Amino acid sequence: MTRTAQEAGTPLVSRRRRGWRGWLVVVVIVAVASGLLLWSASAFTVSEKDRTDPESHGPDGYRALVEVLRDHGVTVDVVRARSDVTRLLDGGAGTLVLPDPFALSDDSVRAMIDAAPATVLLSPSSAVLDLAIPGAEIVGYGTTAVDAHCDLPAASNAGTIRPGALMTGGDVACFPAGGGAALISQSDEGRTVTALDASLLFTNAHITENGNAALALALLGQHDSLVWYVPSWNDSDAQGTSDATLADLTPGWVTPALVLLALTAAVAAIWRGRRFGPLVAERLPVTVRASETLEGRARLYARARDTGHAARILRRRSTAELGRLLGMGRGATTDAVIEAAAAAVAGPRDALRALLTGPEPGTDAELVELSDRLAQWEAAIRAAVRTEGKRS
């Protein structure tokens, strides 16, 4: 008795263990996927910061330039709010470093530029360039190193640089190439605005190339104090008119979370979709005899007057029955059955072929006639097979 109970309980225990193992595998996969997504999200965030932050040590940051400026006695304040920029400029700061202020309105950008004795635009957009230096525009891109060819001391003393974006406009144009200049400058009422593409020139990876370092120190170190503004959407005053994308306006964890949910759903679908479980016999409330099912389908065919469909069923069944009586496999073709049946009873092949492959009957009478003739052929083959068996 005890042994039988244990044997009966063993499959249940095994199924439970398999179930727990399946859940454990799912949990491990989800945990690993979560870790990878969080790591990729953090790596992406660091990568984006490297491209824009003056405190970044990455190849696309400006930390090396900031440290060199401080070593030369320049006070560098990295700020991330417009209010701090205004406060420091009102306190006597001399130079404003302004990367593309994508999150600010034109009025805010204009107010900061007007408050600074010297403004250096690093990689400005066309709109900001025209706002700071009216009439200026971006006209191309330079790839080969060029000399200053201008009277601006900060540029002429730097030697050669490899320009990025080329611009036109301003009072002074330096490093000409391709119909534009890598650096343009304009002075108005004691304020100077200088624009250049520093996306490569002043980064940690390229600051030591050509005359990049000399140009950066001359432009950014012309006063004893410098304010470096870092734009962000958190400091935006132009939400209603900005071109921010949905990704810019959503928290950083939203995308990894959505990807994780999609991955979890996919894993669950694969896991549950391929495991249907054992077949279970269900006791029906009533027993339906096969003859009743047959009669019910026959009545449906009769009500629909679908004699063609009924004829096709009769022919398929009769062909299969003839093949079975003649000892032919299920894969036997209709032509092979016709040849074998005609040879077994020495009957006309064309007549049997017309029965099995001829046109469909159009009336109930023709359908009944077809059924009777097929039954006659089956009876004849059955009798021939029995006679042959008695002789052998």
Statement: the pTM of the whole predicted model exceeds 0.85: no
Instruction: Determine the average pLDDT of the residues in 291-319.
Output: 84
- Yes or no: say if 267 and 26 are a contact pair by the CB < 8 Å rule: yes
Dist. CA 178–CA 166, nearest whole Å: 8
Indicate left, alpha or beta for 195 from its phi (over 0: left) and psi (-120 to 50: alpha).
Answer: beta
Residue 175 DSSP SS3? strand
Q: Count the Cβ atoms, other than its own, within 10 Å of residue 257.
A: 15
- List, in sequence order, every residue forming a beta bridge with 192; answer none if it has no partner: 118, 187
Structure confidence at residue 119 (pLDDT)? 94
Structure confidence at residue 14 (pLDDT)? 55
Provide φ and ψ at 30, rounded to 5°. -65, -40
Per the prediction, the chain carries an average pLDDT of: 82
> Which is higher by pLDDT, 40 or 164?
164
Q: What is the DSSP-derived secondary structure letter of residue 41?
A: H
pLDDT greater than 70 at residue 274: no
pLDDT band at 249 (very low <50, low <70, confident <90, very high): low
Q: What is the DSSP-derived secondary structure letter of residue 204?
A: T
User: What are the structure tokens assigned to 367, written together?
Assistant: 């359908």
Dist. CA 330–CA 360, nearest whole Å: 24
Structure confidence at residue 242 (pLDDT)? 46
pLDDT greater than 70 at residue 8: no
Name the pairing type of β-strands 165-168 and 137-141: antiparallel
Dist. CA 281–CA 345, nearest whole Å: 46
pLDDT band at 48 (very low <50, low <70, confident <90, very high): very low
Share of the chain above pLDDT 90, in %: 27
Structure confidence at residue 57 (pLDDT)? 83
Structure confidence at residue 29 (pLDDT)? 78
| Side chain identity, residue 138 | I
- Range with the largest mean pLDDT of 184-198, 281-295, 318-332, 336-350: 184-198
Reference 154, options 136, 137, 174; nearest CA is 174
Stretch among 52-56, 208-212, 249-253 having the lowest mean pLDDT: 249-253
Parse the chain into domains and list their residue ranges.
19-53+250-271, 55-229, 290-391
pLDDT tens-digit profile of 78-104? Answer: 999 988 998 898 877 789 999 988 888
Stretch among 8-22, 56-70, 290-304 having the lowest mean pLDDT: 8-22
| Side chain identity, residue 196 | L
Alpha helix segments (H runs only) across the chain = 2-52, 63-71, 82-90, 106-115, 126-132, 153-156, 212-220, 246-249, 254-273, 290-304, 307-325, 334-345, 349-357, 364-391
Using a 10 angstrom Cβ sphere, with 0-12 exposed, 13-18 middle and 19 or more buried, the burial of residue 385 is: middle
Instruction: Determine the average pLDDT of the residues in 7-34.
Output: 61
Residue 214 DSSP SS3? helix
